[in-house]
Chains A and B, each alone.
Chain A
Amino acid sequence: MSTTNSTITEDIRAKAKQLLSSGEVAAFLGFTTGTLPMTMRPFVARRPEDAERLVWNSFCVMNLANYLPDLLKSVEPPRGPKDPPPEGPLPKVGVLATGCWSRNIVVQIQENQVQRDRLVILGIGSRGMVDRKKVLAQVDGREVWTSEEGEHSLVIEGPGFKKEIQRWDVVRDNCQTCIHPNPVIYDYQVGQPVSPREVKDRFRQVNEIEAMSSEERWSWFQEEISSCIRCYACRNACPLCYCPTCFVDDSRPQWVGKSIDLADTSIFHILRAYHCAGRCTDCGACESACPMGIHMRLFTKKLEKDVLELYGTEAGMDPDVPLPLTTYKEDDPQNFLITEAVGQTSEAGEGVKP
C-alpha cells in the first residue's frame, strides 16, 4: 500500500539522485533508517547511488538544519585559515526542510551561518513527527522490535505483542500545536503541502504552568530537571547552538559547574533556553534527543510566547524581519522596570529631559 510517506520517500530519492548526478549539489542531507526501531539517523548522500538509502517517515525527529553549517564547510575545497576563499561559486548542498527546519535555515541565513545560494531546499509539508517515548508508554515500556507505518496508524511489534496505535495519539506535543507545518523557503516541493492544522491554544502547556504560584513553578522546574545528566544532547541537537565554545564549556569564567548540582543544572537549562530566545522555532529536537525525557521544550515555548506578545514576531518566518533581540523599538514595553513602580521624582525629570 502506498502511503503519503512512502510516496515522499520515492520523490526524495528521485530528486536527490537527479541533483547528485547532475552535479548541482555536492551532498544531499536527509534521513536513513537508524539501528534501532523507531529511530532515524541523519544521512549525507554524496554519490547518486547513496540516494537509494534516503528514507522519509514519521520518526525523522532530528532537525537537519543543525548539520548544515558543518556540512557546507565540509564540501568546500580544503584551505588554511589564512588562505583566500577559492574563486568561483562554492559547492552546494541539498537538504530536506519541513516548516520548522526551514525556519531554522532562515535564522541561520540571518545569522550568517549558511548562505541561501549554496542550498537546494526540498520542502516537505510536515504531518507531525512521532514521539518515540509516547509510543513506548503505549506499550508499557516493553521492547519494540519493529514498527510498521500506515497512513494514520502505526503497528508496533515486540516480544509477545502486536499493537496498532493511532498515529496522531503519539505525535510529539510540539507538532500537535504546530501552526506552520509547511516550509517557509524551498526550491522544490516534495509531496503535497499540508493544510494548516486547527490549533485551539498553542500555548496551552505554557499557560497551565503560568497559572501556578511561584513556589509551584519552582518545584515543577526542579522536578523536571532533577533527572538531567548534563549530557548536553539538547544543545547538540539544536540548530541554534553553533557557538565554537559553548558557555557550558567555558572554564574562565566558569558559568556553570561541571557537577550535577541542581543549581548548576538549573542555570544550564535557564541559559540554554534563553540563548534560543526569539530564534527557537519549536522544532522539538531538544526534547526528542533527551535521553531522560525532560520537557525542556516548555522553557523555549515560554520565550516564544513572550517574544510574540511583546514584539509580535516569530522566528524564521521572514528573512527580512530582523531577529527580535538584534533590534529594538523606541517604545518597547518596559513595565517590568522597578522605576515604573517607584515613579519618577518630579525635579529629577526636569533636569534630564529637555
Chain B
Amino acid sequence: MDKTSVQKKEWEPKIIAFLCNWCSYAGADLAGVSRFQYPPNIRVVRVPCSGRMSPNILLDALKAGADGVLVSGCHPGDCHYISGNLFARRRFAIFKSLIEFLGIEPGRLNFSWISAAEGEQFAKVVKEVTERVRALGPARRLVKEI
C-alpha cells in the first residue's frame, strides 16, 4: 500500500507504547478498569522495566513504520528494580536530543512516568501523544519501505 492511498483512507496514527510491567502497564490497566476514555491508536508492548528500553528497539519501531513511540516507566524513586528508570532517564534524554538533532521530528519519541495509580494520567498522556503525532502526520523519516 503506498503512502497516498494511506492518506486517502483517513490516516490514523499508529503509536507503539512500551510500558513498564510494574507501574505504567498497571496504570494502563487501571485506566481500562476505571473506564477512562483514550484514543485507540496505541499498541502496548509490556517491558520489564523502562531501563530495558534500548534505543535499538525504539529505532526499530520507527523503521517498521510506527508513527510515534511512547515509553513509560515508574516515577523516579518508585522503580521496582530501584534505579532502572534513573539510568533510563539519562539514556532517553541524550537519545531524544540526538535524534532530534539529526532531524527526526520532536513528538515522534515520547517519554513519561506513569504510576500504577495514575489511570487518568495514562489516558491524558495517550491523548496528548496521539494529538502530537496526528499533528506531525504519517512518519516518513527513518521508515524503511520494503
Contacts and interface: CB of A to CB of B under 8 A. Distances in A.
22 contacts: A217-B101, A247-B56, A263-B143, A264-B63, A264-B144, A269-B102, A274-B55, A277-B95, A302-B101, A303-B94, A325-B90, A328-B83, A328-B89, A330-B76, A332-B89, A338-B110, A338-B125, A339-B121, A345-B118, A348-B119, A348-B121, A352-B117
Contacts of B141: 218, 266
- Which 7 A-B residue pairs are closest in the complex by CB-CB distance? A218-B103, A351-B117, A328-B86, A263-B144, A217-B103, A348-B118, A339-B112
A247 B59 CA distance: 13
Interface in A334-354: 334, 336-339, 341-342, 344-345, 347-348, 351-352
Contacts, number: 147
A214 B106 contact: yes
Nearest to A351: B117
B87 A328 contact: yes
Interface in A318-332: 324-326, 328-330, 332
Interface string B131-146: 0000000000111110
Given A306-B97, A351-B117, A352-B118, A334 B89 contact: yes
B129 A338 contact: yes
Interface string B28-56: 00000000000000000000000000011
A270 interface: yes
Classify chain B: how many residues form its interface, as a range: 35 or more
Contacts of A333: 93
A210 interface: yes
Contact of A337 (B87, B111, B145): B111
Contacts of A217: 101-103
Contact of A221 (B60, B92, B102, B106): B102
A215 interface: yes
A267 interface: yes
B104 A218 contact: yes
Interface residues of A, number: 56
A135 to B, nearest CB: 29
B113 interface: yes
Given A270-B59, A306-B93, A344-B121, 19 more contacts: A214-B105, A217-B102, A218-B103, A218-B104, A247-B56, A255-B56, A257-B144, A263-B145, A271-B59, A277-B95, A303-B98, A306-B98, A328-B83, A330-B86, A338-B125, A338-B129, A339-B125, A345-B124, A352-B118
Contacts of A263: 63, 142-145
A215 B103 contact: yes
Interface of B: 55-56, 59-60, 63, 70, 75-78, 83, 86-87, 89-106, 110-121, 124-125, 128-129, 141-145
